Amino acid sequence: MQQSYLKLLDNNKVWVKEKLANNPNYFLKLSQLQAPDYLWIGCSDSRVPANEITGTEPGEVFVHRNIANMVVHTDMNMLSVLDYAVNVLHVKHVIVCGHYGCGGVLAAMGNHQFGLIDNWLRHIKDGYDKHRTELDAITYNTERANRFVEISVMEQVHHLSQTSIIQNSWKNHKRPSIHGWVYDLKTGIIKDLNVLMDGMEDVSGVYKFDDAKS
Ligand code: CO
């Protein structure tokens, strides 16, 4: 069997050489400080790599990825990343980036079982159900799926705003801004959904905490 993974290690050596040729202190500098301005919450899909599609370098973006870029308020992994990004790294922006043609979103829109992942897809299904009047009115399947990708991203932006981590930071530090984007696999272009949330006025009802903790 060909050891295809070995090419990754070879690629790494080439990459190190290129970086050092441009800047002999590249790794020394990176190893001394991590100060990214952005937290990226994206899909695990191999075609949506945060750094490549945003033209950013190592050190610029703190990244959390899961299937269908979900913000699930009981997900200790996501919460730990969010807490570290907001309270230790002091990121200025949190970006939720979905993508058209997302397998997780498509699976959640259907009625088939896929096994264990059904329990994760359930969170996406809940988003569909919340917006089903709008979504069910779209007859063309691809169009409906694309719209749901956008709606799901907006839902995750709201979920972030409903966390005590974000609300406490808004009250105490007036950051971060939360953005919703969708990446198009067919063109490489990122669409800004213009659903910016950046303060307590963007939170309502029982989700709003009146008592900020510092
Ligand atoms: Co996806």
Q: What integer pLDDT is reported at residue 185 of this predicted model? A: 98
Domain that holds residue 67: 33-193
Q: How many domains does the chain have?
A: 1
Q: Please indicate whether residue 97 is annotated as part of the active site.
A: no
- Per-residue pLDDT of 173-183, as tens digits, reads 999 999 999 99
> Using one digit for the tens of pLDDT, what is the confidence trace for 97-115?
999 999 999 999 999 999 9
What's the 47 CA to ligand 1 centre distance in angstroms? 9
**Is residue 14 in some structural domain?**
no
Compute the distance from residue 148 Cα to the ligand 1 centre, in Å. Answer: 12
From the list 100, 98, 108, the residue with the least C-alpha distance to 65 is: 98
d(CA 193, CA 191): 6
Model pLDDT, residue 181: 98
HSE of 155, CA atoms in CB hemisphere, 13 A:
23
- One-letter-per-residue 3-state SS of 63-89: EEEECCCCCCCCCHHHHHHHHHHHHCC
47 part of the active site: yes
Ligand 1 centroid – CA 31 distance (Å): 31
Q: Supply the mean pLDDT for the chain.
A: 96
Q: Is 102 a catalytic residue?
A: yes
Could you tell me if residue 175 is inside a domain? yes
Is 63 a member of any domain? yes
Give the DSSP letter of residue 131.
T
135 Cβ neighbours under 8 A, 6+ residues apart: 128, 144, 147, 148, 151
CATH code assigned at 50 = 3.40.1050.10
43 carries an active-site annotation: yes
> What is the pLDDT averaged over residues 152-168?
98
Task: List, for residues 10-30, the tens digit of each pLDDT value.
Answer: 999 999 999 999 999 999 999
